[in-house]
Amino acid sequence: MSVQIRFELATPEGEDRERQVCQTCGFINYVNPKIVVGSVIVHEDKFVLCRRAIHPRKGFWTLPAGYMEERETVEAGAAREAMEEACAKIEIDGLLAVYSVPHISQVHMMFRARLVAPEIAPGPESLEVGLFAWDEIPWSELAFPSAKWALDHYRAWQNGAAGVFGNPA
């Protein structure tokens, strides 16, 4: 005997919004935001940037970052993304910022980090990687607003600002 699963949008009892509800068994399929983890990685006052080899924003520069995996800490995810995108072994210093990106249902957690070894190379999701001094960063070619926010917030932290940053006003 097979059970047919049929999801339809409905507002479950006690909820305030529509959800995907199985009309056969009543299971509620909660769809939640994705968590993106990444790092502002510094080596000798230069920042690690990756030129994206994948969409969205293929060909543009960004910080090493990506989606968390299940059963992974945010720190482990940020370190994994640095290795996958820039072949970079990093040491995380602390949480820099948490950004809400509701129009694409994402939360970005960005860390401060340093390179353990100066060698970096493009991973499969990067066309190239580089170390950029502040005045060499290709600002007009950054892939995402959150990359600029994180770089700006890192600079503010360097200049003595304390705490964890959030979305710019």
Claim to verify: residue 74 and residue 27 sit in the same structural domain = no
* Shared domain check, 89 and 13: no
* Number of compact structural domains in the chain: 2
Q: How many percent of the chain have pLDDT more than 90?
A: 92
Within-domain flag for 83? yes
CA atoms lying within 13 Å on the CB side of residue 78? 25
User: Pick from 129, 97, 133, 126: which is nearest to 112 by CA?
Assistant: 97
C-beta neighbour count of 28 within 10 angstroms: 12
Confidence at residue 16, expressed as pLDDT on a 0 to 100 scale = 94
Residue at 94 is within a domain = yes
- Contact between 65 and 107 under an 8 Å Cβ cutoff? The reply is no
- The verdict on 64 and 121 lying in the same domain is yes
**Is the same domain home to 83 and 154?**
yes
Q: Are residues 111 and 84 in the same domain?
A: yes
Could you tell me if 97 and 19 lie in one domain?
no
pLDDT at 2: 75
Q: What is the CATH number of the domain that holds 41?
A: 3.90.79.10
Range of the domain at 20: 1-31
Q: Which of 1-10, 28-37, 135-144 has the lowest mean pLDDT?
A: 1-10
Neighbours of 78 (CB within 10 A): 28
Residue 123, in any domain of the structure: yes
Interacting residues of 163 by C-beta distance below 8 A, sequence separation 6+: none
152 and 72 inside one domain: yes
Pair (79, 154) in one structural domain = yes
Residues 84-116: tens digit of each pLDDT:
999 999 999 999 999 999 999 999 999 999 999
Residue identified by tokens 């199985």 is 22
Residue 3 has pLDDT above 90, yes or no: no
- The single-letter DSSP state of residue 166 is -
Q: How confident is the model at residue 4 (pLDDT cuts 50, 70, 90)?
A: confident
Angle at 31 between CA 29 and CA 36, to 5 degrees: 145
Residues 43 and 126 in one domain: yes
Do 104 and 46 share a structural domain?
yes
pLDDT in tens, 118-162: 899 999 999 999 999 999 999 999 999 999 999 999 999 999 999
Same domain, 10 and 38: no
What does the block give as tokens for 56? 């969205």
In a domain, 168, yes or no: no
Burial environment of residue 7 by CB neighbours within 10 A (0 to 12, 13 to 18, 19 or more): middle
Asked if residue 70 belongs to a domain, the reply is yes
- Average pLDDT for residues 33-48, to the nearest whole number? 97
Q: Would you say residue 165 lies in a domain? A: no
Structural tokens at position 111: 């860390």
169 pLDDT band (50/70/90 cuts)?
Answer: confident
User: Which of the four pLDDT bands, split at 50, 70 and 90, describes residue 82?
Assistant: very high
